[in-house]
Amino acid sequence: MMSFLMLGSLLSLGYALAFQFLAPGETGSLTYWCGYAMCFVLARLLASKHPQPAGDWLVMKLLAMTVPAGGVFLCAWGGMNLLADPAAGEPEGADIMLYSSSHGQLLPLLSMIMGAAILAVSLYRIRSRAQR
């Protein structure tokens, strides 16, 4: 049985080559990237019984760091949307509109609250693990 990184790389390479030849115009679509990610999920399932997974700790640390990064992203997204003024003279369909005016300020506020909660829990868990 191969380790996660080796198996994930081989599965994703095979998937990318097959997708390139079968549907070359769709390689930038969401379907393509979801399938690409599923190759690594499948590799993780297949390599879970491997006695000495090479490099798995690095992948797991990187995945764990996406949680606080997601909290920062939610806070930044909410803050940008609260600061974006829909009455700044831009046309209605302009790119400066980062949120739908039908949601008003509720969606950005909820996103900032959720991002702050994610960051607080992540920092608490990092701190509690560092004290062990």
47-88 tens-digit pLDDT = 776 665 556 666 677 777 888 888 898 899 888 888 875 555
Number of domains in the chain: 2
End-to-end CA distance of the chain: 33
Please answer whether residues 86 and 45 qualify as being in contact, where contact means their C-beta atoms are separated by less than 8 angstroms: no
pLDDT at 85: 56
Burial of 53 (0-12, 13-18, 19+ CB in 10 A): buried
- What is the extent of the structural domain holding 44? 1-53
Q: Please tell me whether residues 102 and 132 are part of one structural domain.
A: yes
Q: What is the pTM of this model?
A: 0.50
For Cα atoms 39, 34, 62, give the angle at the middle one, nearest 5 degrees: 70
